[in-house]
Each structure stands twice: as C-alpha cells, then as structure tokens.
Structure 1
Amino acid sequence: MTNHTAKKGIFKASVLQNRLLGDKFFRLTLEVEKKAKTVFSKSNPGQFAEIEVSSLALPPENAIPPQFADASRRNVILRRPFSFADIMVSEDNVILEILYMIVGAATVRMKTLKTGDKVSLIGPLGNGFSFSDDKKAALLVAGGMGAPPLVHLAGFMKEKYPNTDIVVFVGTKSVSDLAFFDIKFDKFDKKKIKLGEFEKHNIQTHISTDDGSAGTKGFVTEVLKKWIIENKPDINNTIMYACGPDRMLHASAAVSSEFKIPCQVSLERRMACGTGLCQSCAVKCVDKNTGDNFYKLCCKDGPVFWADEVVWQ
C-alpha cells in the first residue's frame, strides 16, 4: 500500500472566501503562502490542518446561534483541526478547500472571517489514506461531516488511480445535513439529488437519509451492504474507505468483516495539538497477532486506521 503523507509546516494563509452554504455549512477557501507548496504537493487525502482561531472576534450577538450563546464567550486557546475537501497546488500557491459547520466557540468565530483576512495553520498533519495499484474497485462511505475528506479522496483517486472504479455511499440524518459544496436537486422530485463533486468525475453515488428526505430511507451501511450483495465485487481487488461518526464507522467495519473487504476508516476526534504532544486523542487498538490492546494517537498515527485494528466501543 502506498501512503503519500508529507512533512508538515506552520504557514500563513489568506481567506479567499468564507461562504454560507444552505443554513449550516460554510465553505472556507484559503490561499496558503508559496513556500507551503513543497509539503502540500506531497500530501494525501485524510490529512488535516490545525487552524489558529484565538485572535478571531465574535460575530454580533444576533448572529450567534442561541445554543452557542454562552459557550461562544469562552476563550479559544487551542487550534482547531479541519480536514480538506480539496488541495490544489500550482506554481504560485496552494489552495485549500475546507467545509465546516458551527459547533462551538471556535467555529462561531470562524464565521466572521472575510476575504483578505489572514490565519495561521499547521499542516498537513496526520496519516491519510493509503493506496494500492492492485485494487480495481473502491467503495467510499461518508457519514455526516465525514464527507469532505472523501470528496478529496475521490478526486485524488481519479487523477492518480484512473483505472480504479469508485462507488460512493453518502448517509446523513436529513437532506439539510448533506455536507457538500454542489448539491443539485431534481426539478420534479426533490428526493433525487446529484452531488456535483462526484458527478463531475462520473462516479456512481448512492445517497441515504435517516428520515427519507433524500435518496433511500435508512442507514448508509444498509445501502452499502445491499449493493455488495447485489453486485458481488471481487473482494481480492476491492477496498473500502469510510469517514464519519463512530457509530457509522463501527457499522462499516462490520460490513468490512462480513464480506472480507479491507477497510480504512478516518476517525473523528478532538485533537488539541495535532502533533501527539497532548495525548488527548488516544484510540484503543488491538494487535491482530496477539490480541493485546494498546493505544495509538488519532492526530499522529491516524486519523486513518485499518478498521480491524480499532477496538470499537
């Protein structure tokens, strides 16, 4: 398996846009200083950056969601981790695409970022997804905010591994929770949706929602399992990649085990430092040879792990 993980650095970045998508997500586009080209040109999907937010001001009181009114007033000392929806490296600059939603004091402040503002970031951090030329099919499973790194992964694989057939499975609670930049609704049936990020690469995509407001009603792993049963992919030439909440990843790991399809999972954890110093993002793992349990760090050893090495709780 090939892993393109790069070295990291501390860089300055300029905000190109910070645009509200729908009613809960923001698309943050950053232009990173030219010297970042060396490390980001060697980065791979699944890695992340820690962004400095301590100096950002709060928005006006009426722009703060009521549920975060009290929490937003806390001092934000530590950087916050964000995965990449895309990384574009050119001769002149590095462009990072990040999708985030308001979940606390840090992201409340981030919504005030405007074009031209400067931020500091550390990245690319962690170990991302790994790849193998002998895998002819890849099943990408995204749950909730786990979508952005898999958008990046799909584009990366289309460029670097064009002979690999990709099928994407996306699951959310409701249609309003689809964490994508380019959502296209059918004129006659609003439950029929196309995701531009995958459509432009002609990638087969299956959408499911818990409430049935878009695509198939039910859990994304149920749709995944049904597809595997019906299409019978060659398990020796197939790999799964999954990103989302632990419950969904646990279910994806179960599908992986049942059908003997190797699976890499990108875990969601609070990663305070991003470099392994604070030890706050420990992941319980199992040694497949001895059965002994031990711990790895999500920020340093992950966030991508093999599904069968994680102790699911």
Structure 2
Amino acid sequence: MQNPSPFPGMNACARQLQARVVEQQQLAEGTFRIRLATAELARVIRPGQFFMIRPAAGTDPLLGRPFALYDTYLDEEGEPAGIDFVYHVIGKMTGLMSDWAGGEVVTLWGPLGNGFPVPQAGHLLCVGGGIGYTPFLAVAREAAGLRQYGEGDRSVAEPARKVTLCYGVRTRSQRADLTDFEAIPACDLRVATDDGTEGHHGLVTDLLREALESPERPDAVYCCGPEPMMHAVADVCAEAGVNCWLSLETPMACGFGACFSCVTKVKVETEEGWDYRRTCIEGPVFPAETLIRG
C-alpha cells in the first residue's frame, strides 16, 4: 500500500482509494456508524489515526472531511476486511452521508496522522466528550489484548487489567450507543450528563477526578472531545502527575499537511519557546504537556 510520492511527514502507507458502503446504523440522535469494505486501509490503520472521505462523484463538497477510526471489522478468516467510523450530522457533508446506503461508492484518503501510542498501562482511562468517544473502541480493544492494529508489532507487553471510559454528554437523548464498549470484559463504563438524566449529574472531569483519587488510579489518560473539556482534562492530569494524550479535533482542509489550516501551538526548545505543528501530520494526538493554549 505504498504511496509513490507522499507529502513530507505524511504516512508512507497513505493513499487514495475507493470503498463501498456495507451498512449504516443510527447510534443516537443525529449520530450514525458507517461500515466500509476496504481491506487495504483496515490492514494498516491504527487507533487514533483518521482518514478523509468524500463522495466518489461530483464536486460538492469539493474537499473531503476527516473522520477517526472507530474500529476495523474482520472477515470469516479473521483478517481485516474494512473499517467502521462514527459521525454526527452537523453540515452539508455529514447530511449527505446520512443518506448513504449499502453499495454506495466513496473516496478515501488515508491513513493519516500519528494515532495513540501503544497502550502499555495496567489501567488505561479514556475520556470522551460528545462524539469524542469514537477513537476509543479500538484503543480499548488493543489495550485489553483483544485486537492488533496496523503494520508491524503493536502488541501490548501485557493486556491492561482495566480500561475505563469516562463519557460525557449534555443529556440522555444525545447519549451514544456504547454497547460495543460494554462487550469488552476489561472495560468499565462511566457516564456523566450535564442535566443529570443519566449517570453522574455534572462534568465528565468529575469522573476523572474520582478515578485519579481511587485505589485503582489509572496509569495513563487518553482524551478526545470539545476543546474546553480537553483543557480541563489536561489540567486535572497535570495536577495528579498522570501522563495524558489529547486527540485534537482541529478543523482541517487537505488532511496531508499542505494547507497549514490545522496548525496548533506546541512547546519547543528554541529561543521563542514555541512553534506550530500540523494536526493532520504531527498529530492529531499530542502529549498534553507539549501543547500551548490560544
């Protein structure tokens, strides 16, 4: 799956391809899961990486949109056959996607980005807000030793004894279908709603603080979701002295580092003390302590 002339810093295995929609399922109010038959991409993509997608025909919209891997699915022989991704309807592209049915041909570009590091933790805690929970199914399955992703050896040294997902959402009606997480034996699911209609009445960071103060304190935290939530998670983890990685949801246009529309400030050892990094190339996952706000 070699791309003959990748852009500087882009994954050498990234390429453009076409795939057919296998099925689409509604998970929550305005939220859907799409399954695509694309063995090429499924064999190399890693948890936390993403791809750009657009209709195979037409020019409206002209540019693709980025979506994180939810999970890969396997064929009868146990080999990767395709990918699943989850999206929320918020604009023209996702509005079109909600009408896609089995057999629809779409264009993909990926895998893109760096993804999460291989989880080497006895207790891994993931924090997801809104649609930001979607990268963590593959993360949880990998951490628990149930699946392997990508090329090369990404096997965990020892499966995690526990994977906690702290999931925050405004209200119960917007809560995602988390059945896939509940099916992982090592996964502990905790829900917070802003209005108290399900689970903890309050912020998802309240659940994070409880976990960090418990006897089963997590060894590492992965986070994805709204920017204010991620800032808060980074602060809580810094106070507790726990390593934290953030997956940024920065808007992007090209997805391969050419347009520089998705840059974020990071700390570097220069006279200025900071520089820009492209979320689509050097990210979307960054150690929380390396990021500069604003």
Please classify the TM superposition score into its range, dividing by the shorter chain length. 0.7 to 0.9
Instruction: Please say if 1:142 is aligned against 2:128.
Output: yes
- Separation of aligned partners in 1, 2:42 and 2:89: 26
Deviates more, 1:277-286 or 1:83-92: 83-92
* Alignment CA distance shift 1:175-1:272 (3 Å): same
- The Cα RMSD (Å) is 2.2
Shift of residue 42, structure 1, vs aligned partner: 3.3
- Separation of aligned partners in 1, 2:22 and 2:260: 34
Aligned length: 270
Read off the aligned partner of 1:263 and give its amino acid letter: C
Query: Contact 1:6–1:43 (CA<8 Å) still a contact in 2?
Result: no
Gaps of 5+ in 2: 1-10, 146-154
Read off the aligned partner of 2:45 and give its amino acid letter: S
**TM-score w.r.t. length of structure 2:** 0.85
- Counterpart of 2:239? 258
Query: Contact 2:129–2:204 (CA<8 Å) still a contact in 1?
Result: yes
Deviates more, 1:98-107 or 1:15-24: 15-24
**TM-score w.r.t. length of structure 1:** 0.80
- Separation of aligned partners in 1, 2:269 and 2:237: 15
- Counterpart of 2:118? 131
Read off the aligned partner of 2:130 and give its amino acid letter: G
Q: Following superposition of structure 1 onto structure 2, how do residues 42-81 of structure 1 map, counting pairs within 5 Å?
A: 42-53=44-55, 55=57, 75-81=60-66
Deviations 1:239-298 (A, max 9, x none): 110011111110110011001101111000112111001110001111278771111001
Deviates more, 1:95-104 or 1:281-290: 281-290
Instruction: Please say if 1:287 is aligned against 2:268.
Output: yes
Deviates more, 1:20-29 or 1:165-174: 20-29
- Counterpart of 1:231? 215
Query: Contact 2:264–2:277 (CA<8 Å) still a contact in 1?
Result: yes
- Counterpart of 1:27? 33
- Counterpart of 2:92? 105
Among all aligned residue pairs of Structure 1 and Structure 2, give the percentage whose two residues are the same amino acid: 31
Query: Contact 2:42–2:80 (CA<8 Å) still a contact in 1?
Result: no
- Separation of aligned partners in 1, 2:58 and 2:175: 27
Provide the secondary structure at the position in 1 that maps to 2:48. Answer: coil
- Separation of aligned partners in 2, 1:93 and 1:300: 25
2:14 pairs, out of 8, 20, 23, with 8
Shift of residue 93, structure 1, vs aligned partner: 5.7
Shift of residue 56, structure 1, vs aligned partner: 6.5
* Alignment CA distance shift 1:22-1:226 (3 Å): closer
* Alignment CA distance shift 1:168-1:288 (3 Å): farther
Instruction: Please say if 1:204 is aligned against 2:175.
Output: no
Shift of residue 21, structure 1, vs aligned partner: 3.0
Shift of residue 41, structure 1, vs aligned partner: 2.3
Shift of residue 176, structure 1, vs aligned partner: 2.2
- Separation of aligned partners in 1, 2:115 and 2:28: 29
* Alignment CA distance shift 1:208-1:120 (3 Å): same
1:83 pairs, out of 68, 72, 77, with 68
Read off the aligned partner of 1:178 and give its amino acid letter: R
Deviations 1:95-145 (A, max 9, x none): 111111111111111112111111110111111000254x32211111111
- Separation of aligned partners in 1, 2:34 and 2:58: 15
- Separation of aligned partners in 1, 2:12 and 2:73: 15
Query: Contact 2:72–2:80 (CA<8 Å) still a contact in 1?
Result: no
- Counterpart of 1:155? 141
Instruction: Judging by fraction of residues, say which structure has more helix.
Output: 1
Provide the secondary structure at the position in 1 that maps to 2:229. Answer: helix
Shift of residue 40, structure 1, vs aligned partner: 3.5
Gaps of 5+ in 1: 58-74, 181-194
- Counterpart of 1:117? 104
Read off the aligned partner of 2:142 and give its amino acid letter: F
- Separation of aligned partners in 1, 2:115 and 2:257: 15
Read off the aligned partner of 1:130 and give its amino acid letter: P
Read off the aligned partner of 1:16 and give its amino acid letter: V
* Alignment CA distance shift 1:173-1:84 (3 Å): same
Read off the aligned partner of 2:24 and give its amino acid letter: N
- Counterpart of 2:284? 303
